[in-house]
Amino acid sequence: MRKPDRADVLVIGAGASGALVSLALAGRGLKVVCLDQGGWTLPANHPHFSRDFQWQRQNRWNPEPERRRGESDYPVEGNQSHALMWNAIGGSTNIFGALWPRYRPSDFRKGVEHGLAPDWPLGYADIEPFYDESDRLIGVSGLTGDRALPPRRSPYPLRPLPMGPCGRTIGAAFERLGWHWWPMPAAVISEPYDGRPACNACGNCGSGCPRGSMAKMSLTIWPRAVAAGTDLRPFARVERIETDPQGRATGAVYIDRARGERVFQGADIVVLSANGVGSPRILLLSKSARFPHGLANSNDVVGRYLQHHTLVAAEIWTGEPIHSHIGNAGAVISCEFAETDVNRGFVNGFNFNVARIGPAGTEAIGSFTNRPAPWGSGHHAWFRRHFAHGFGAFAIGDDLPRPTSRITLSETERDSDGLPAARLNYEPHENDWRMMRFAIERLKDLAQAANAIDYTINDYCDQDGTYRTPAWHLLGTCRMGDDPETSVTNRWHQCWEVPNLYVVDASSFVTAGVVNPTSTVTALALRAARHIADGFTELRTATKPIMD
């Protein structure tokens, strides 16, 4: 087995978290090696340059690995939910929507609020400066002043993206209802920034951004991280994290998929950033005599408390054209129902992400609700009435964490290197069902307020009654906390049982919140990197987690 020179820090996973951790640590002079099982997703790889780009989005560019079956993917067994994963340098930022809202202060204290979920071991004030730092590094466009959030310490780096007639129509509908709304902040640059061109409003955000106008980490952060000295190794599939007799991580064994050989990369500190499915999978694969249930898992918490966000959606069409095929994906955000009001019959709340429907092919196949345009003699009439007239509304709910919703290892499926696949099991809490029933009625209110000529709803269940949530975020499977019995890491992402092992990605989330998680993922990554860099000398030999 080949053994390269030892690193100060080994980062596993080159997505948003891994990119920012690598940049921050290499920038502090540490020797950083980062491994990712995928390669580079080059601009020319994106479907934008093909005539059938929308068909490709449903096939080779599908965000679900089970449908995409890419060369670097691994199977995810279980069909209860979607799993948005892109296994490559930059991770899922190659294909995400780059919506960039922050979590609210109440998202961190559900234990105090209702007790059906625990509090985070940190609060909004602990993360706020790192939110600001992430916004500047990545380039975030937005309008300061949203009263659903605390006042910002600094304005958005870039002015908001154009609302256009689509955004103005949506905003007017919310005004008629008397509901909160605000332009959606996005990691999509509205003007040239950091050598990247401004968004050209092509409308194909669903296939990522080959220009780098969206925050695709392979074009935004990774060039800087490599220039700072990070040794980034693509096509490196991690097989297991190794430990010494004292239970400290010593590095990882990975399969060099380009050379077809196994390699052991040693390191003083290991940072696991492989997403809410991949991180628990690697910990479970790393079982040993000392850790028979998987690494850092003597309390059987690794893989548990999977959250996706509950979600229902509507496609809403107006009588007048609103040019909804032009512009970035996000248009409007509403926190009208984000806070708990027990008079509604449930705890927690949901957020409206209201978005443009997109190009013609996306419209024809049913972008938000999987209701395709009718084929045959009525197709052209339907299309003339609907195309560029519609918008989509997601009601994204804060699902309650459940120990039975979890990631385990498959007993039957293997990846292309023979490693056990991940098995996903997810079931919503009864509270989540009640919340989404309420949300469906509010989507109908929104359609009416928009003077809709047509609308359709996407519910939790398929037509045959089979449950399958359309939500896709992967949260909570290596949760942080203050109690080693009920969490995997402490507030700094440091594993209780393996003090030089950190889990830094959305698997560390305690609750899901009601908004897209990537802004919080990147802020937490920068916070964890600061902790590691500041305490590196002590951490490299620590025998227990650092609590201050």
Mind listing the pLDDT tens digit for each residue in 260-282? 999 999 999 999 999 999 999 99
Q: What is the mean pLDDT of residues 211-240?
A: 96
Q: What is the mean pLDDT of residues 71-78?
A: 88
Q: Where in the sequence is the domain holding 132, given as residue range(s)? A: 1-43+84-98+101-139+215-305+475-548
pLDDT at 191 over 70: yes
Q: What is the mean pLDDT of residues 17-29?
A: 98
Residue 110 lies in a domain: yes
Q: Please tell me whether residue 225 adopts helix, strand or coil conformation.
A: helix
- pLDDT, residue 1, reads 87
Residue 294 lies in a domain: yes
Residue 159 lies in a domain: no
Distance (Å, rounded) from C-alpha 454 to C-alpha 404? 39
Residue 529 lies in a domain: yes
Q: Please tell me whether residue 537 adopts helix, strand or coil conformation.
A: helix
pLDDT at 344 over 60: yes
| CATH classification at residue 231 | 3.50.50.60
Residue 233 lies in a domain: yes
Question: Do strands 32-35 and 231-233 pair parallel, antiparallel, or not at all (unpaired)?
Answer: parallel
The single residue listed with the structure tokens 């050989």 is 261
Of 6-15, 63-72, 207-216, 522-531, the range with the lowest mean pLDDT is 63-72
Confidence of residue 220 (pLDDT cuts 50, 70, 90): very high
Distance (Å, rounded) from C-alpha 193 to C-alpha 161? 14
Distance of CA 340 to the CA centre of its chain: 23
Residue 519 lies in a domain: yes
Say if CB 121 and CB 481 are below 8 A apart: yes
Q: For 132-154, what is each residue's pLDDT tens digit? A: 999 999 999 999 999 998 999 89
- pLDDT, residue 194, reads 93
Residue 533 lies in a domain: yes
Task: Tell me which amino acid residue 181 is.
Answer: W
Distance (Å, rounded) from C-alpha 389 to C-alpha 356? 10
- Number of compact structural domains in the chain: 1
Q: What is the mean pLDDT of the chain?
A: 93
Residue 203 lies in a domain: no
